[in-house]
Copies of this chain bind each other. A is one copy, B any other.
Amino acid sequence: MSTKETLARVALTWLAEPGTRSVHRLVDRLGPVGTLDLLLDGGAPDDTLRATVAARTAAGDPRAVAAEALARADRLGARVVVPGDDEWPTRVEQLRELRLPEAHRRVDTETAPPLCFWVRGSWPLAEAFDRSVAVVGARAASGYGTHVATELGYGLADRDWTVVSGGAFGIDAAAHRGALNAGGVTVAVLACGVDRPYPMGNAALFDRIADTGLLVSEWMPGADPLRPRFLIRNRVIAAGTLGTVLVEAAARSGATQTTHRALALRRPAMVVPGPVTSAMSVGAHELLREHPKSRLVTGVAQVLEEVGRIGELAPVPRGPQRPADQLDDDARSIVEVLPRRGAVGVEVLAARAGVAVRTVLRKLSMLEELALVVRREDGYALAPPPADAGRAGQGRRADGRPTPAGERPG
């Protein structure tokens, strides 16, 4: 794509917020340069867009602003990526088809694909997004949510999946940290310039992400993190990834918005449940209750099963295998009616289990073979359990993987 077209895309993103459908339709028809010319000549096709353009141009010349932004990005080692570039993440183009049910607010109707991305970090953008999962959730995350998000980030990165999230405190930061701890690729999609990631409190984290992953934004360097931009940004997180996992969300929360976009895009929309006593899981549970297509997940194996790569099916959790699992009904009945302490005779066993005496005798010899029953002078008794019985399978992570240690510097 020519420099002139790139500059026009940057200028258009500055003129009207990203996602504006009328601008996107014009670009489809006239190209970015023709669209910019038309809008600056006062030829916007509707009053709203005309007013928006007028208000913005009152604050500066769009072409000059765009040129300055490109120069600034160059100085700080950021680049701009546009459709047609090798590293353009084509999956976001599906935002063309995104239609949200009951959309009234601008942020729910103006969900066109991005016109450009600003990128900091060495990974090609498309490659980073290729095998990626979004992990999103509350800023005011609980210790529980932070723990789960860190584990998910770690587990995904450890299996060579990219983690994608915003840059907020709480779940976003925890997911990035988990991925960084596993030495994986993580992408922070920002609602402001990639040179001044917000919030400042995550500055060290953003530096680590830029070193080994990517900082990405639709807004030019220097752009402010205005509040509506977080919601505009969320459509990219949902559309750029193969699925979205929601870890914690309060009853009314922007975090559920990304999941709703994933649902509308027919991407896997996964939700981690939590204690019903926690205000930070109310939004998550409500999503699971209201959306039949949303899917409860409890760990990384189940997430990967949803985003569906062959050979990455999650094992169904099972309790520890017991020798008694293989027994037939008669044998199990006999074991079950044996007293916990002491021994009993064959006739008593037969009566208690409701099994004929000769069957009891046959099953008992098999149970002796299996070391489940012992014969004593006073009758038959349960064999003593092995020393560690009853603890097997306890206290492990559901997926059997080690817990990542605390953060190490990147």
On A, residues with C-beta under 8 Å from B are 16-17, 51-52, 54-56, 58-59, 105-106, 144, 147-148, 224, 226-228, 250-253, 272-277, 279, 281-283, 285-286, 288-289, 292, 295-296, 298-299, 302, 316-320, 329, 332-333, 336-337, 347-348, 350-357, 359, 393-398
The answer on a CB contact under 8 Å between B274 and A336 is no
The answer on a CB contact under 8 Å between A106 and B333 is yes
Question: In the complex the two chains form, what is the Cα distance from A299 to B279 in whole Å?
Answer: 13
Question: In the complex the two chains form, what is the Cα distance from A286 to B315 in whole Å?
Answer: 11
The answer on a CB contact under 8 Å between B317 and A52 is no
Residues of B close to A317: CB separation below 8 A: 251, 282-283, 286
The answer on a CB contact under 8 Å between A58 and B337 is no
Contact residue among B273, B275, B302, B397 (Cβ-Cβ distance under 8 Å from A296): B273
Residues of B close to A329: CB separation below 8 A: 105-106
Instruction: Across the A-B interface, give the 4 residue pairs with the lowest CB-CB distance, nearest first.
Output: A252-B319, A273-B273, A51-B356, A59-B351
The answer on a CB contact under 8 Å between A55 and B350 is yes
Question: In the complex the two chains form, what is the Cα distance from A273 to B278 in whole Å?
Answer: 11
Q: Name the CB-closest residue of B to A20.
A: B354
Q: Name the CB-closest residue of B to A253.
A: B319
The answer on a CB contact under 8 Å between B274 and A55 is no
The answer on a CB contact under 8 Å between A226 and B336 is yes
Question: In the complex the two chains form, what is the Cα distance from A183 to B295 in whole Å?
Answer: 39
Q: List 29 A-B contacts (CB under 8 A).
A: A16-B354, A17-B354, A51-B354, A51-B355, A55-B354, A55-B356, A55-B357, A58-B357, A144-B277, A147-B277, A226-B336, A226-B352, A227-B336, A250-B319, A251-B317, A251-B318, A273-B273, A273-B285, A274-B275, A277-B397, A279-B395, A282-B398, A286-B316, A286-B317, A289-B295, A289-B296, A289-B302, A292-B292, A296-B296
Question: In the complex the two chains form, what is the Cα distance from A279 to B58 in whole Å?
Answer: 61
